[in-house]
Structure 1
Amino acid sequence: MSLLRYEQLSISFGAGRREKFAVRDLDLSIQPGERIALVGESGSGKTLSALAPLRLTPEGARLQGRILWQREDGKEENLLDLSIERIREIRGREIAMIFQEPMTALNPLFTIGNQIVEAVQVHEPLMPMEECRHTAIALLKKTGIPQPEERFYAYPHQLSGGQRQRAMIAMALACKPRLLIADEPTTALDVSLRLQILDLLKDLQEEAKERGGMAILLITHDLNLVKHFASRVGVLNQGCLVECGPTHEVFSHPTNPYTEQLVNSQPVRELLPLVPLAPVLLTVNQLSVSYPQSNFANGSMRWRNWFSKAKRHQVLKPLSLELKQGQTIGVIGESGSGKTTLAMAILGLLGETTAKVEGDVSVLDQPWLSLRPIERRAMRAHLQVIFQDPFGSLSPRMTIFQIVSEGLDVHQPHLSHDERESRVVEILREVGLDRSALQRYPHEFSGGQRQRIAIARALILKPQILVLDEPTSALDVSIQKQVLKLLSELQKKYNLAYLIISHDLAVIRAMSHELMVLRAGEVVEYGETEAMVRDPKEGYTKTLFSAAELT
């Protein structure tokens, strides 16, 4: 008997002629202890299918069909017919979920430890607090978070993107569920940590065999991850399951043209060589970032000796680089290595009250960090950014037209409404969206579609320098290839300069002329990309590249 079984599940929005199906007639079964993956393009219905068993689909969604769940006594119940009280009993204890965007899923007002402990206490109210605390710390340690005893008292904003994702995994595993639904569980993780998380999930499955086993439903756009983790894979296209079978058979002998297209979607290197004597647009000279040493012990979040010259924690050690017109520099490293800190320091977006930024940054021959706010604001049209978390960076109260045209309102206020709309429609079309998106809101789009909106918002001002912080982390492989091709074409057309930050070596290799490897805030190796990939000099670089090949 299946642990979970979808029977003719359809999910739609609207009514009458306006009814649109996001998932149509899905039939899929998950066996106890099985590892199964769902793959497909952004907007294909993967996440909605994963949310349906826990009744977490967006408001207004209409669900038809059945989702049968096998209880511990062996009987089946239709999750779509259960009361919300019964569903709450199932959430966490029997079916747990790792969400795609940890920053929006975690409560910013509570420490990581408190949130894991809460997940335990909801289903184990009699467990002593100290035992809950030890359980939470042990889970944090298992998921690879450094100094778990201290991170127990940290807030979400004090962790890197990858560390927040691992904290989400720890929370989901707290109650030892029978089914773990993982929606892009390794999106924010570097390649070496992906292997650790995969091994962790496999180990936890082995441990769970004593109590009947734990199945895993993996939702991902990372096909290499699926190859090395799932025993069976289902392929969704426009809400329909077009192919399902053993992983090795589906990937080696796809029977559906769409599956074949997915399998062959790999980033292609199409870089033009730099123009001789190309002008330098961005100069970074001995840039470093440090923070006051914090004290997490015993739950205290007080800064040590705030007004004294206490030792500071240096998260980015002095580094230098030059970015020329038409050039792309890639930055790669493990989670917490300082990649995003480097980007935020260059952009001047670090909190001035806590972060101490030293060194010089020159943008178009202007001393960027020392400019007055009004001067820096005027120059921001030339230096734009695409953030890692598209949902967190898009205002939920603004329409897509308002979000994408906001830069035009600030930097080109002379444009009429029709001119702004024309430009917004044009840039949306370039990133794969159409006019129908204009009056919709971010929550109405999938993660990958939100990332394309973020890219459109940055590109509409036609900047000279673009900082890309994990620009394709939320995109499936086919859309990723399209976006990278778009960025490459725009670079050729407008001679744009890119600073691209990613944990995906394939993306970095396809896009960058030069590659910088960071570890613990320090430059380990820096040079021409292809030469470094062929013959890395440092042991850490070799390990990083080797892990990328395995995943």
Structure 2
Amino acid sequence: MSKAHIHDQGSKVPLLKYEDLSISFGSGRREKFAVKNIDLEIGIGERVALVGESGSGKTLTALAPLRLEPEGAQVSGRILWNQQGERGTVDLLKLPIQDIRQIRGREIAMVFQEPMTALNPLFTVGNQIIEAVQIYQPLISKADCVDAAVDLLRKTGIPEPERRIHSYPHQLSGGQRQRAMIAMALACKPRLLIADEPTTALDVSLRLQILELLIELQEESKDHGGMGILLITHDLNLVKHFAQRVAVLNQGNLMESGATKQVFEHPSDAYTRALVNSEPVRNLVPVIPLAPVLLKTEELSVAYPSQESTSWFKKAPPHKVLRKVSFALKQGQTIGVIGESGSGKTTLGMAVLGLLGDSAAQVTGEVDVLGDDWQTLKPASRRAMRSSLQVIFQDPFGSLSPRMNVMQIISEGLDIHFPKLTSAERESRVLDMLREVGIERSALTRYPHEFSGGQRQRIAIARALILRPQILVLDEPTSALDVSIQKQVLALLSELQKKYNLAYLMISHDLAVIRAMSHEIMVLKDGKVIEFGDTETLIKHPKQVYTKELFAAAALV
């Protein structure tokens, strides 16, 4: 295939230019190319998007300029960086690593895909942002650094930034952690921002806010040369609204590139056409009228002790995350839970799963699972019931043990709940489940770090589904998947629901996914249920202003 030619619509002098970039692993007959002969450039002040399905080489391409490719990777070609002033252009692949460290953050900043693993859990988000500010402005005072950090958090849409600056990463929601990472990347005012799925964990309204922020900062950067942005994403709707040019990768090959409007409206490659047409399809079976209730909550509330004090001797009241949430989930039904980041969606899922008991959380109200009070069950009974109530977490890398291979990860539940299975039976079940989620047999002996984000999420789905649970809590189950794989996974979840009458509690900020999968929608805001009802009715006739804004942002109404 001939290389796609990329037309530069930005500056005539590219800020970053890939020339014949290839990345491979192994050697000799075992050499496998993850990226093949990529030619791509980002102009000064330009926004370029790199799209493609999981495993296409997007993230490897993004990591290469900062020399953050995985151990064992062989990188060839050239990556030309246009330095400031009269220093000229340098090949980043030939620079000593100590020189690359001077470029990281200061000149080229990166927003990583998985904030929980990229942020240091031992330091507050404020300290981590302040550190980045001090790198760029070493002479300003500590107070000014704190003010700058608060301002960055405010700009990225984090509520109560003066309070959140003292929070540790685990005390923030997934979306808030992602915004904190964006704030940290922007602190040094880089000339190039590489954003690897920067809005994956954000709800639709905050996605627009972050995009507007990046464009605004890009405009402000014109005073000191102009900031280029390389966006890596599987969110095609986001690309349409943000990128000036788009490049499409498939299995490491550059399939097509050009002006965003041209590529989306008149794709020349069959793969690009399939990618553009990969919208989730609604294909639900109605819930049986007399279907039994499998999961029920009554006035479920969750609060955390405040770290602040109102006086010398009195603590501030607990911070309420969830406020008197009640719902009933029936067999074969999907309830979709939507709301902005920090609205309490994930906390609701954790409370339903009984995973808040060992934390400082104060949980009140009732949670009934299969007719039993989850709160009062003895530990042995709760462990036995785990096979009926499974979960797929938002962060696949954080939820998979890096020391276990795929066979061990997926079969772990079988070892606990079905200890009498033979090794052959256990392996057969694992292989069947891998086949269902689209992972090859050769993956059995590999480890999580060897897979893309989307592939890791499919492994997490296989781990949850192998026990054939009656209830599945899906916490952003497709947030790390590109649109084509997302469509396949949603179709798989729909087929499994029909076949086994599964009940899903689906938590997501992706309203297109919620619309395709849910019988009913629950809208959360500040921990409260502000609207609840039939999916199509609620989407067409929302009553609350907040709900209308959510749907309008997602172009659903």
The interval holding the TM-score normalised by the smaller chain is over 0.9
2:37 paired residue number: 25
Question: What is the CA–CA distance in structure 2 between the aligned matches of 1:176 and 1:122, rounded to whole Å?
Answer: 10
Alignment partner of 1:184 is 2:197: yes
Aligned match of 1:483: 489
Number of aligned residue pairs = 544
- Whether contact under 8 Å (1:384, 1:465) holds in the other structure is yes
Farther-moved stretch of structure 1 (483-492 vs 114-123): 114-123
Tell me how far apart the structure 1 counterparts of residues 136 and 188 of structure 2 sit (CA, whole Å).
7
- Superposed, which structure 2 residues align to 1:503-542 within 5 Å? 503-542=509-548
Structure 1 counterpart of 2:257, from 230, 240, 244: 244
The match for 2:9 is none
**Aligned with 1:255: secondary structure?**
coil
Maintained 8 Å contact 1:280/1:324: yes
Contact 2:211–2:242 (8 Å) recurs in 1? yes
Indicate conservation of the 8 Å contact 1:328/1:497, yes or no.
Answer: yes
The answer to whether 1:34 aligns with 2:46 is yes
CA distance in 1, matches of 2:481, 2:516: 16
Residues 506-536 of structure 1: per-residue CA shift (max 9 Å, x gap): 0000000010000000011000001111111
Tell me which residue corresponds to 1:426: 432
Q: For 1:98-109, what aligned pairs fall within 5 Å after superposition?
A: 98-109=111-122
Q: Is the 8 A contact 1:4 1:67 kept in 2?
A: yes
Matches within 5 A, 1:140-159: 140-159=153-172
The amino acid across from 1:86 in the alignment is D
The code of the aligned residue for 2:212 comes to D
Q: Secondary structure at the match of 2:273?
A: helix
Q: What fraction of aligned residue pairs are identical, expressed as a percent?
A: 71
Matched residues in 1 for 2:541 and 2:127: separation?
Answer: 46
- 1:72-87 to structure 2, matched below 5 A, reads 72-74=84-86, 75-87=88-100
Deviation for aligned residue 1:353: 4.4
CA distance change for structure 1 residues 423 and 371 in 2, over 3 Å: closer, same or farther? same
Cα offset, 1:351, TM superposition: 4.3
1:391 aligns to what? 397
Indicate the RMSD between aligned Cα atoms, in angstroms: 1.5
1:67 to 60, 63, 79: 79
Q: Are the equivalent residues in 2 in contact too, given 1:361–1:368 (CA < 8 A)?
A: yes
Structure-2 change in CA distance of 1:477 and 1:353 (3 Å): closer
Q: Quick check: 1:47 aligned with 2:59?
A: yes
Q: Give, in angstroms, the shift of residue 138 of structure 1.
A: 1.3
Give the superposition deviation at 1:123.
4.4
Following the alignment from structure 2 to structure 1, what is the Cα–Cα distance between the partners of residues 249 and 506? 30
- How far residue 311 of structure 1 moved from its aligned partner, in angstroms, is 2.3
Q: CA deviation at 1:149?
A: 1.6
Residues of 2 paired with 1:351 and 1:336: CA distance?
20
- In structure 2, the residue matched to 1:462 is 468
Query: How far, CA to CA, are the matches of 2:125 and 2:27 in structure 1?
Result: 41
Equivalent pair of 1:295/1:304 in contact (CA under 8 Å): no
Equivalent-residue separation in structure 1 for 2:365 and 2:511 (angstroms): 29
Paired residues of 1:153 and 1:296 also in contact (CA < 8 A): no
1:373 to 379, 388, 403: 379
CA distance 1:526–1:126, change in 2 (3 Å): same
Q: Is the 8 A contact 2:539 2:556 kept in 1?
A: no
Q: Does the alignment pair 1:217 with 2:217?
A: no
Which range is displaced more, 371-380 or 274-283?
A: 274-283
Q: Given the superposition, is the C-alpha separation of residues 550 and 55 from structure 1 closer, same or farther in structure 2, using an over 3 Å criterion?
A: farther
Render the CA deviation track for 1:24-68: whole Å, top value 9, x for unaligned.
000001100000000000000000000000000111111010000
- Does the CA-based 8 Å contact 1:281-1:465 persist in structure 2? yes
8 Å contact 1:97–1:180 — kept in the other structure?
yes
CA distance in 2, matches of 1:6, 1:143: 30
Question: What is the rounded CA distance, in whole Å, between the counterparts of 1:107 and 1:236 in structure 2?
Answer: 32
Cα shift at 1:304: 8.0
Given the superposition, is the C-alpha separation of residues 305 and 378 from structure 1 closer, same or farther in structure 2, using an over 3 Å criterion?
farther
Distance 2:413 2:332 in 1: 23
Do 1:191 and 1:504's aligned partners in 2 also have CA atoms closer than 8 Å? yes
Contact 1:292–1:303 (CA<8 Å) still a contact in 2?
no
**Which residue does the alignment assign to 2:480?**
474
Native 8 Å contact 1:150 1:296 kept in 2:
no
Q: Which runs of 5+ in 2 are unaligned?
A: 1-12
Give 1:163-182 correspondences, 5 Å limit.
163-182=176-195
State the alpha-carbon separation in 2 of the partners of residues 70 and 326 from structure 1. Answer: 57
Taking the TM superposition and a 5 Å limit, the aligned residue runs for 1:495-510 are 495-510=501-516
Structure 1 unaligned spans of 5+: none
Q: In the alignment, which residue of structure 2 is the partner of 1:453?
A: 459
**Residues of 2 paired with 1:314 and 1:82: CA distance?**
51
1:205 maps onto 2:206 in alignment: no
Deviation at 1:126, TM superposition (A): 3.1
* Consecutive aligned runs of 4 or more in structure 1 exceeding 4 Å deviation: 302-306
TM-score, normalization by structure 2: 0.96
Pairing 1:402–2:414 present = no
- In the other structure, the counterpart of 1:312 is 318
Residue 125 of structure 2 corresponds to residue 112 of structure 1: yes
In 2: Cα distance, 1:295 partner to 1:483 partner: 44
